[in-house]
Amino acid sequence: MTEPTRPAEAVDITEGKRRVEGGALLLDVRNPDEWHAGHVDGSTWIPMGEVTDRQGELPTDREIVVACAVGGRSARVAEALNAWGYNAVNLAGGLKAWVEADLPIVTDDGDGGTVL
């Protein structure tokens, strides 16, 4: 990943959900075991270590809300994406905050998930 040129904006769960419902891409950058345990339905999964090589899979025409478990990894990815010319924000508190706000997460088969 490149050095960030500026910190990424952090949005809380309410604002992050609003932006995703408005058309932003929710990018989950957690590890495979975390993703399979539970993720936001409809989110895109690219593990943090693969973002550099897979950035071409990301949209340049809409905002990206980046999420991880608590917001640390996603902050670094959002900063890198912004440095590369994307419009990205960090989901503050990550998926742990998402679940604490009583918002759903699912497993690959659609059952209720958990956040590792």
Give me the active site residues, please: 68
Tell me how far apart the alpha carbons of residues 110 and 5 are, in angstroms, rounded to a whole number: 38
Tell me how far apart the alpha carbons of residues 41 and 95 are, in angstroms, rounded to a whole number: 12
- What would you measure as the largest C-alpha separation in the chain, in angstroms? 40
Q: Which two tokens stand for residue 45?
A: 């999964």
Q: How far does CA 22 lie from the centroid of its chain?
A: 15
